[in-house]
Amino acid sequence: MDSITIYFSIFATAAISLFLFLFKFVFSAAHSKLPLPPGTLGWPYIGETFQLYSQNPNTFFASKLKKYGSIFKTHILGCPCVMIASPEAAKQVLVTNAHLFKPTFPASKERMLGKQAIFFHQGDYHAKLRKLVLRAFLPEAIKSIVSEVDSIAVDSLQSWDGKLITTFQEMKTYAFNVALLSILGKDEAQYREDLKRCYYILEKGYNSMPINLPGTLFHKAMKARKELSRILAKILAVRRETKQHHSDLLGSFMEESEGLTDEQIADNIIGVVFAARDTTASIMTWILKYLAENPSVLQAVTEEQEAIIKAKEESGYLIPKGWKVLPLFRNIHHNPENFPEPEKFDPSRFEVAPKPNTFMPFGNGVHSCPGNELAKLEILVLLHHLTTKYRYSMMAPQNGVQYGPFPLPQNGLPIKISLKK
């Protein structure tokens, strides 16, 4: 095929795609009494993805909000989307009309984590899984592992003593160890290093191009995913042979009355462990940054934790079918009408309860984070030991923010940590 033919084929494909794209939205708009939200869709298929990722995402969304208001349309990552940045609209999507919205992810993400994982479903199956996850992560359930979480926190801090560490990376390890304990119990001990290795490979390939050819990050991630399934199969086999009751998440999934298949159990265990790591680690990284930059707040936290020791011892547009709807939590949380001076680190603002639906750190409704109590526990335990027994300092001024997929301090916040004399 000569170059002229190739160029003609590309042009024809693009022209047909453009025609179909325009026809689809003109036709749907003509048959609806409601207008689409204001906004722009950019190029067919590509949309405005390049504009989003070529700058600070907050700048991209802030300019849209300023121009179009709190509900607007855009087109990113191959999907037309409606973005919402008002507490009332977020509640409609997440709570009131949650049954009308189906959680969706790129097909490659579903393949990697497992198509039966809780994140990809709604309805009865999702409700059943959510009940099982909540049962394992309720405050009453995680009381039994507080001492083990405490040991993980103490061991982590001791291993950092006198060293220069990258906060985000170390917090990922800490959160991962807590996740394994709460999800697999003590059965994970002999497989811990293999699990870490597999999840590290899985993480590197998660946001890669979904090209399943030898040598690609995606291919390596899919191989690691298969190995994770094999490890879980071994743990399942041992548990069934010993017939011991376990109160962790795997035990909750394995109860005969729940009727989950091994594939469903594996998909959900792998997915929940994956979700429990980076989210909590990024929160803790920001906490340490803000405490280091606000000595008076750090002192207040330290005194509060020391007091605990002493006391113990002596939260009308058309949306076409198939479009994605994304609540912009950060824009809701950083709206000055909800929180004055939102960029300022001021924990005292939460001494007064925020207005309804304006603060949703764990989401809201049926798809809110079911492991939020565990996340709060591991954060508080580590902060308790850090503030009462250690001191730390940032190695350089931290003014920038890096993105992808979580916003983080530059370079993951390098700090020097040492035991108090």
Tens of pLDDT along 259-301?
Answer: 899 999 999 998 888 888 888 999 999 999 999 999 999 999 9
Report the Cα–Cα distance between both ends of the chain, in Å, rounded: 76
User: Taking 80 as the threshold, does the pLDDT of residue 257 lie above it?
Assistant: no
Query: How far is Cα 238 from Cα 68, in angstroms, rounded to an integer?
Result: 57
Is 152 in contact with 177 (CB distance < 8 Å)? Answer: yes
Query: How far is Cα 383 from Cα 232, in angstroms, rounded to an integer?
Result: 32
Phi and psi, residue 15, nearest 5°: -65, -45
What are the structure tokens assigned to 55, written together? Answer: 């700058």
Task: Calculate what percentage of the chain has a pLDDT beyond 90.
Answer: 34
Average pLDDT (121-127) is: 87
Closest C-alpha to 168, from 303, 16, 287: 287
Average pLDDT (73-84) is: 87
Closest C-alpha to 142, from 258, 280, 247: 247
Q: How open is the CA angle 317-320-321, to the nearest 5 degrees? A: 140
Residue with tokens 């040492």, as numbered in its chain:
418
Q: In whole numbers, what is the pLDDT of the chain averaged over residues?
A: 83
Closest C-alpha to 184, from 130, 128, 140, 231: 231
Query: How far is Cα 131 from Cα 202, in angstroms, rounded to an integer?
Result: 27
Query: How far is Cα 181 from Cα 149, in angstroms, rounded to an integer?
Result: 8
Report in angstroms the alpha-carbon separations of 116 from 4, 97, 120: 46, 23, 7
Is 172 in contact with 204 (CB distance < 8 Å)? Answer: no
Is 369 assigned to a binding site?
Answer: yes
Number of Cβ atoms within 10 Å of the Cβ of 293: 13
Average pLDDT (219-227) is: 94
Q: What SS3 state is found at 62?
A: helix
User: Taking 80 as the threshold, does the pLDDT of residue 359 lie above it?
Assistant: yes
Residue 245: its pLDDT value, please? 79
Is 381 in contact with 153 (CB distance < 8 Å)? Answer: yes
* pTM for the structure as a whole: 0.77
